[in-house]
Structure 1
Amino acid sequence: MPAVPIVVHRPLATGGRPVVVRSEIAGLAHSDQDVVDFIRRAGLAFGEDVLDDPVWVEWRGGRAHEYGAG
């Protein structure tokens, strides 16, 4: 199975989750809206509904949509 284009990594101890889009570090997200903004800046036009699509987004470590300190 090919890798998904968007990976949201586990929450950091200080809060926020690193986001990688198309193998490039996009930034540190503190909300779903941050992730959507990173996706759009990378040239992909999706809304928040894509965040629950495992074909496009992989949530690693921790629950999806949670950004607090681990």
Structure 2
Amino acid sequence: MTRGSQRERDRERAAARAGGKGKNGDDGLTPEQRRERDGKALQEKAAKKAAQAAGASSGGAAGGKGAAAKK
């Protein structure tokens, strides 16, 4: 019998912890603006990853061995 109220309390606590963040939060952008923003973020992320990979590959084979050994 008390499980129902426990679930409700857990839901309330989870909602309080989440604050105001929600997956479907309205950021005030049109779909086109959102696409543009996300595309730009993706390009920056890809450039950062490429730069990181270029830096790691110039380090030599020893860096690769160390990373493989940790796994």
TM-score range, shorter chain: under 0.3
TM-score (norm 2): 0.21
Give the structure with the higher percent strand. 1
Say which structure, 1 or 2, has more relative contact order (CA 8 Å, 6+ apart). 1
Larger Rg: 2
TM-score (norm 1): 0.21
